[in-house]
Structure 1
């Protein structure tokens, strides 16, 4: 049984716990959580979620414990996880969003974790991994990044298209729900566009997925350009990908290949909207009615992804693949 510790109980940390408690990744055991928020607030935000709704089981808390159904999980409250003595922890989920430097990313190792899995892009990682794209590179790295939610949606599809027909070039736009990095009212955020109220406008902006895709699939570096539009919805995003393939493919060919996928890439034949895809576990759910192939050979793929739930399921999946490393000593 792989022992997991969650550092940072925000959107991803709480969603990871929900997905695991629902039965995802039963070979994992979540044995501790650390967050600077008070235990009662951690329990309340887990029990009552504005996106996923009330937790269907029981949630209680004590001074240093979170009780979820019949599971008792120790709660810690420190801004520096290296000050804790975690005992034997196989993988620490670094979910604070602050592990952008090596010294911060290594704090979990200093606390006793064997390996670190970061819930986002990080230059401090030994490997940036996307399941369905480059998992073959996973070895005994101490610090691994799970990339971004958009990269998890994009990279497996790009790899599939390239492996099947060869990929010449393409453009991807992610239509992404707003996130905590944006203000609820106009307020300075260092970027003129992202300083605008998240719930009132569609905001054209950048995405880290382009650079991360180049890291994850270096043989295709530079072939896909990307941008983003942040939209006033709270969950579920989409990618709109248009590519030129080396070998001509018909619409039926594209549909057949997508229908053969499962687990990481899903599909739907139904005319769905974003809220219909909430809490789907796949990294990408391709909308087959939106797929197009032009007479000139352009292929358009449109797919949905729950940027919180699907990404959290990948965190759990990757943790199952990570071989326990040597336990670090302070």
Structure 2
């Protein structure tokens, strides 16, 4: 009888948490869709997420606090937040709840606490939205389209206006493009509605008209014909890699800035969160978001370099296969990449070592690098073997990375994982550039030689880094609370 009563109490408790989550989801949706205030939970997206997903995130927060943040704590904060006049913002409600707990704030003082903590968001100046054009519509292009549309909220920030491809714009092609956007073998179904409007040569995505433009070269496009002005052109093709070629985009009417989603030559290579302060967005107008690997390892190397100093090191990337490899054995201009990608581990070169030096100049000449492509479609791993100037220990090093993941300029770039069962499929869908695998850290007896394991979603995590840099370049920065 006692056991039966305990079971009923457990069910009642879980239903109570479910109901609280339903209320929280309603507030999250209202703040986002009507006021452009995006709530996240320890950097995890919670807009348009299921009840079970949000509850699981709360349970997982035990890694970051002495006990899990409860759904009732976050609901309490969200209810108070509704009473504030907030500018477009991104607010980590998990971090807010943790601070409220640490400060021993009573429930009746929640509104006062929120007003004080989010005062900058109540005074923050809104920015004019920025028109965005995607030049190319491959893997990164489609993920960018998903994120740009899902982040459009009430019209603030970045607005996807057009997509440029080399195809003829006919109904068959548009339907193929729509299907590729709607369904993805790795990232699943798009949580939105995609319709074809052949009369406008457009896709209607969640009610937003996105024009498709067919062009063989950037110079032949007049974006102003489509009502687009001062646009940020995000080039996903990889066809143009240097300043001269990328500047061709600027000859198009209506184009103002260019962002390359690959390493670039003769232009600033930027890892957002690490070296974005080096660029002058009023003076420069062509930028590179570097590579997915550079974005993954630079934040970790920045922490290590600042704390202990790096004498030299080697980077080995275990990277998922990519579209440039062959599906079956065939000729390829590069060594080994001609062998079947889904059947072989393939040694190949990577420019990660020299690319990191462009982002972190103190590491020039200190890093070597190589890569192995492996038979998985997404999810990669960088192994950093470093000799340090000063000694450390496993616990000290891991704690330093954890602190950087929770506070400071790299909270969007680093996710700290203490999960000793972590595998590559677990990091798919991660929005940070890096997932630091703490249980795998190795430190030599003298404390000066370390081996670090850094996972990264080379598609989704990188896409979010591109989005962050795009907002920075476009000058539509929003208030953030991390």
TM-score by length of 1: 0.94
Is the 8 Å Cα contact of residues 132 and 155 (structure 1) preserved in structure 2? no
Q: 1:234 aligns with which of 355, 368, 377?
A: 377
Instruction: Please tell me whether residue 120 in structure 1 is matched to residue 120 in structure 2.
Output: no
Q: 1:266 aligns with which of 415, 419, 431?
A: 415
1:103 Cα deviation after fit: 4.2
How far, CA to CA, are the matches of 1:292 and 1:255 in structure 2?
10
Q: State the partner residue of 1:291.
A: 441
Q: Which whole-Å deviations, capped at 9, do the CAs of 1:117-143 have from their partners, x for residues lacking one?
A: 0000122x4211111321121113121
Is the 8 Å Cα contact of residues 205 and 227 (structure 1) preserved in structure 2? yes
How far, CA to CA, are the matches of 2:204 and 2:182 in structure 1?
11
How far, CA to CA, are the matches of 2:152 and 2:416 in structure 1?
20
Q: State the partner residue of 2:316.
A: 173
Q: State the partner residue of 1:85.
A: 222
Partner SS, residue 462 of structure 2: helix
Q: Which moved more, 1:101-110 or 1:1-10?
A: 101-110
Instruction: Please tell me whether residue 17 in structure 1 is matched to residue 167 in structure 2.
Output: no
1:146 Cα deviation after fit: 0.7
Larger proportion of helix: 2
Is the 8 Å Cα contact of residues 105 and 143 (structure 1) preserved in structure 2? yes
How far, CA to CA, are the matches of 1:53 and 1:47 in structure 2?
8
Q: 1:29 aligns with which of 159, 165, 173?
A: 159
Is the 8 Å Cα contact of residues 297 and 454 (structure 2) preserved in structure 1? no
- The equivalences for 1:1-330 within 5 A come to 1-23=129-151, 27-37=157-167, 38-63=173-198, 64-87=201-224, 88-111=229-252, 112-123=254-265, 125-139=266-280, 140-260=283-403, 261=405, 262-270=411-419, 271-297=421-447, 298-323=449-474
Larger proportion of strand: 1
How far, CA to CA, are the matches of 2:267 and 2:244 in structure 1?
13
How far, CA to CA, are the matches of 1:249 and 1:90 in structure 2?
48
Query: Which structure has the larger Rg over C-alpha atoms?
Result: 2
Is the 8 Å Cα contact of residues 11 and 308 (structure 1) preserved in structure 2? yes
Partner SS, residue 296 of structure 1: coil
How far, CA to CA, are the matches of 2:230 and 2:174 in structure 1?
22
Partner SS, residue 183 of structure 1: coil
1:198 Cα deviation after fit: 0.5
How far, CA to CA, are the matches of 1:2 and 1:24 in structure 2?
11
Is the 8 Å Cα contact of residues 148 and 208 (structure 1) preserved in structure 2? no
Q: Which structure is higher in RCO with an 8 Å CA cutoff and minimum separation 6?
A: 1
Partner SS, residue 160 of structure 2: strand
Partner SS, residue 281 of structure 1: coil
Is the 8 Å Cα contact of residues 300 and 401 (structure 2) preserved in structure 1? no
How far, CA to CA, are the matches of 1:22 and 1:232 in structure 2?
31
Q: Which runs of 5+ in 1 are unaligned?
A: 325-330
Q: Which moved more, 1:252-261 or 1:101-110?
A: 101-110
TM-score by length of 2: 0.65
Equivalent pairs counted in the alignment come to: 323
Segments of 4+ moved more than 4 angstroms: none
How far, CA to CA, are the matches of 2:164 and 2:244 in structure 1?
18
Partner SS, residue 108 of structure 1: helix
